[in-house]
Chain A
């Protein structure tokens, strides 16, 4: 007994609680928990759909009438609504997933003890991180699908490739969910959430969401290209307007890597914070 324990102990490095990886079966229970909680707050769920719709009607349809046509992906001229709508889809995917993985996550992690309760069960920190990201994506999928249907009804989906706009929105959500989750583990109080807004608002306004990249001087344009939301907007716009190229895999890989890396960083940070 003593020997076997000592053998086991020498086989693992000290200082980590979870050599066991996350399990899909277990992280599903984190999603179930959120679904139960939202059952009583379904109206909160609706806001994620209306916000991009209001932008589309105001800026796309309203302002768009004054703007006329402009060059879309591949240089083809498109109406302003058709240009802005995929950008709004990408921005909505970002906003929804950032809210779930920063603000909501922080409350549960710092104040409600939700994760302390979960970690006393077979669930581990990896399950928590995957579950929360999974929930954010599930919600994002519903919003993206509803918004895409609205776009289609308004005649703003020019290509059958537009169907892929939904999985693309999920990919954008994944990238920002990973980023949000990881960043939140460094936040100390609600004051730090001002930094989230400080990052989101310029991303929303300047990631070629409302005007093409060609409006920027060359150096600035390259900076914008590096931001995750620009990559997402570029992906959505190309799919919806039917400009399909192999290079579209670049934003897809970029966003996927961002999400994967973020979830890993968040998991190891959570282990250190919640299981000291």
Chain B
């Protein structure tokens, strides 16, 4: 006997006119897990998130969120969700504190409850001393943290994060990741979209890889890498495009699979150092050789023939 999934999509589809943004995807999010939609821009991640957030009607298939139907019980579902959108939509006419306060009011919370929670949440995202500040002068990382705090004011069972660290500098990203990890430890279910494979690897227990409106793979980051990629990758960079082109036929057979990218060649292999030595013996002179472990980026490349950043 297992608990019903928190979110479940079956053949879920989103159309805008004749354009199909989400094409019959199936997925399940269990309570307490961090679930990711990984894919490049335009893969249909945001459209899926908006359907789960009950702000975009389903065009086909089925969707249940917290056991309810978004078409019928939108307000009831939304009252138990926290949403961190891709673009910050903090209220710039209000202070940090008033942003928290009015958001709590949108959920119909009493003012006394909001006062208590708002202070706690601002401390949690390390903005406790900025409560009287206007929103505009805050840095990108602070705004994102405030948006996260705001999304938690109704103590949601499910937190939806659309590209939570896009546009942030590395330091700000790590701080956001650390806070999200804390939330996960507290038992909040996270659903996030991202086109950063490191974000997916850091945060997600389980994820689906989306490409061109469809799900192309599903599993934990480790499973996906084991199933679809080799253990290691040798990255070869060459001084010129000609050298890179000439090297390609010589590399055939040096690993299990060879991929040519605009700026480098990737050789997928079980033994990176061995392959690197082999390359040197063949007389190739790459400008740099890097041996690394496989990542979700490699899984995406192998499955779709393209990189996530495209």
Which A residues contact B (CB, under 8 angstroms)? 1-2, 5-6, 8-9, 11-12, 14-20, 25-26, 29, 32-33, 36-37, 40, 112-114, 116-124, 274-276
Contacts and interface: CB of A to CB of B under 8 A. Distances in A.
A15 B17 CA distance: 11
A33 B92 contact: no
A276 B55 CA distance: 8
User: What are the 8 closest A-B residue pairs judged by CB atoms, nearest first?
Assistant: A113-B89, A121-B106, A120-B83, A122-B75, A37-B93, A117-B89, A122-B79, A8-B69
Interface stretch (B58-66, B217-225, B280-288): B58-66
Contacts of B57: 14-17, 275
A1 B81 CA distance: 22
Contacts of B108: 25-26, 29, 122
22 contacts: A2-B10, A5-B64, A9-B62, A11-B72, A15-B59, A16-B71, A19-B71, A20-B74, A32-B102, A32-B105, A33-B91, A33-B102, A36-B102, A114-B89, A117-B85, A118-B106, A120-B53, A120-B55, A121-B107, A122-B107, A123-B106, A276-B56
Report, as a range, how many residues of chain B touch the other chain. 35 or more
Contacts of B53: 120
B134 to A, nearest CB: 9
Given A5-B64, A9-B69, A18 B89 contact: no
Contacts of B103: 117, 121
A14 B61 CA distance: 11
B71 A17 contact: yes
Contacts of A36: 94, 98, 101-102
Nearest to A5: B62
Contacts of A18: 74
A116 B55 CA distance: 9
B72 to A, nearest CB: 6
Contact of B71 (A12, A29, A33, A122): A12
A122 B104 CA distance: 11
B238 to A, nearest CB: 46
A12 B72 contact: yes
B243 interface: no
Interface string B67-103: 0011110111011010101011111111000100111
Contacts of A9: 62, 69, 71
B85 A8 contact: no
A29 B69 contact: no
Contacts of A2: 10, 62
A112 B71 contact: no
A123 B250 CA distance: 62
A9 B9 CA distance: 13
Contacts of B81: 120
B4 interface: yes
Nearest to B89: A113
A15 B105 CA distance: 29
A37 B55 contact: no
Nearest to A107: B93
Nearest to A12: B71
A2 B28 CA distance: 14
B54 interface: yes
